[in-house]
C-alpha cells in the first residue's frame, strides 16, 4: 500500500488558516483520484480541519508553534523542525497500518493519479523520485515544466517505509523531544528537507528510480508557501489531459485565458526589468 502523508503548519504560523484548509482540500481531492485503490492518506496537524473527506486519516499532535513570529515565513530551521516531526508521526501511523511505501506531500500540491498503481506494480521496489513535474499557478491557470523536480519541491519521493529505519522506541504519541533524541540530524535532513533523500538512499545502496512520467504538480503563489518560488516566466495552458491527470481545472478555451496563461507574470517581468537595469548600470 502507498501512503500519502502530509502535514499542516501550526495555525499561529499561517497567514490565513482557513485558506490553508482550502488548499489542503484541493490536495486531498487530487490524492483521492488514484486509479488504483491500494493507497491511504494521513494528515498530521495541530488542529483538525473543519472538513476531511471520508477515508482520510487525521493524526493530532500537540507540538508547539515552530516560531513566535506569526505568518507563513518563519525561517528555515523552524520549518524543518515542524514539518519534519509531523511527517515522522505520519510515517509511523502509516507503517502501523501496513503501508509498504510512503510519499510525503506538501499540503497544497497535486499528484498524478497513476502513483498507487506504480507502487502496486512493483511492491518490493526501493522507491521512486519525481524527475519531471510541473509548476502550477491556479490564478493564471498555467503550468510550466520542471526538470529535477525532486530538488525543487517536497512532493517528490516514494520510498519503501523500512528504508527510513526501525524507530522501535517511537510511536504517534512521541514528543518532538523524543523524535529529536532518536533521529538526531536525520530528522531535518530526511524529513524536514526534500533535498537529500534520493542521494542519501543511493549512497546507502538502495537507490530510487525516476518516475517515467510527470508525476507531481507544484502549486505556487498561494501566499502560504514557505518559499518565494514563482512560475518563473512563460507558462503553458493547462490541457484537459493535465487536468485529468492531477485533478486541477483546465485553462478556459478563450483567447484572454490562454494569453494570461502563457504571458509572464508580473513578478517575472519586474525581475527581468531589474536585471536589465543592473546590466545597463554596469556598462
Instruction: Convert the pLDDT of each residue in 103-129 to its tens digit.
Output: 999 999 999 999 999 999 999 999 999
* Predicted pLDDT of residue 4: 98
* Predicted pLDDT of residue 215: 98
141 or 269, which is more confident? 141
pLDDT > 90 in the chain, percent: 76
CA angle 232, 226, 109 (to 5 degrees): 70
Residue with cell 493535465: 242
Residue 29, H or E segment: helix 17-31
Model pLDDT for residues 29-50, shown as the tens digit of each residue:
999 999 999 999 999 999 999 8
124 or 277, which is more confident? 124
Instruction: Tell me the average pLDDT across 160-178.
Output: 93
* Predicted pLDDT of residue 283: 56
CA angle 96, 126, 88 (to 5 degrees): 40
Domain of 20 in residue numbering reads as 2-282
How does residue 228 score in pLDDT terms, banded at 50, 70 and 90?
very low
Contact 191, 88 (CB under 8 A): yes
* Predicted pLDDT of residue 190: 93
Q: Comparing C-alpha atoms, which of 115, 126, 131 is closest to residue 214? A: 131
* Predicted pLDDT of residue 223: 56
CATH code assigned at 92: 3.90.550
Kindly tell me if the per-residue pLDDT of 211 is higher than 50: yes
Contact 31, 111 (CB under 8 A): yes
Domain count, the chain: 1
Alpha-carbon separation of residue 217 from 62, 109, 145, 182, 243 (angstroms):
30, 6, 9, 33, 11
Within 152-210, where are the H helices? Answer: 176-183, 186, 197-203
Kindly tell me if the per-residue pLDDT of 72 is higher than 80: no
Model pLDDT for residues 86-102, shown as the tens digit of each residue:
999 999 999 999 999 99
Amino acid at each position: 500500500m502507498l501512503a500519502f502523508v502530509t502535514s499542516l503548519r501550526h495555525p499561529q504560523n499561517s497567514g490565513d488558516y482557513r485558506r490553508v484548509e482550502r488548499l489542503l482540500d484541493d490536495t486531498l481531492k487530487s490524492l483521492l483520484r488514484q486509479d488504483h485503490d491500494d493507497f491511504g492518506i494521513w494528515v498530521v496537524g495541530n488542529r483538525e480541519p473543519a472538513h476531511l473527506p471520508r477515508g482520510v486519516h487525521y493524526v493530532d499532535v500537540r507540538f508547539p508553534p515552530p516560531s513566535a513570529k506569526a505568518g507563513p515565513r518563519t525561517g528555515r530551521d523552524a520549518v524543518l523542525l515542524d514539518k519534519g516531526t509531523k511527517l515522522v508521526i505520519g510515517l509511523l501511523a502509516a507503517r502501523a497500518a501496513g503501508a509498504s511505501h510512503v510519499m510525503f506531500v506538501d499540503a497544497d500540491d497535486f499528484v498524478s493519479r497513476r502513483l498507487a498503481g506504480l507502487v502496486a506494480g512493483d511492491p518490493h521496489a526501493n522507491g521512486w523520485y519525481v524527475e519531471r513535474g510541473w509548476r502550477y499557478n491556479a490564478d493564471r491557470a498555467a503550468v510550466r515544466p520542471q526538470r529535477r523536480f525532486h530538488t525543487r519541491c517536497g512532493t517528490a519521493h516514494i520510498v519503501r517505509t523500512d528504508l527510513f529505519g526501525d524507530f522501535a522506541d517511537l510511536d504517534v504519541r512521541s514528543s518532538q523531544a523524543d523524535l529529536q533524541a532518536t533521529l538526531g540530524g536525520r530528522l531535518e535532513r530526511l524529513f524536514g528537507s526534500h533535498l537529500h533523500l534520493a542521494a542519501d538512499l543511493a549512497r546507502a545502496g538502495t537507490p530510487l528510480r525516476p518516475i517515467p512520467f510527470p508525476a507531481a504538480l507544484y502549486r505556487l503563489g498561494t501566499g502560504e508557501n514557505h518559499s518565494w518560488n514563482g512560475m518563473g516566466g512563460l507558462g503553458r495552458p493547462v490541457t484537459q489531459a493535465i487536468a485529468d491527470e492531477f485533478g486541477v481545472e483546465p485553462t478556459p478555451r478563450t483567447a484572454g485565458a490562454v494569453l494570461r496563461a502563457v504571458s509572464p507574470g508580473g513578478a517575472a517581468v519586474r525581475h527581468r526589468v531589474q536585471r536589465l537595469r543592473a546590466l545597463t548600470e554596469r556598462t
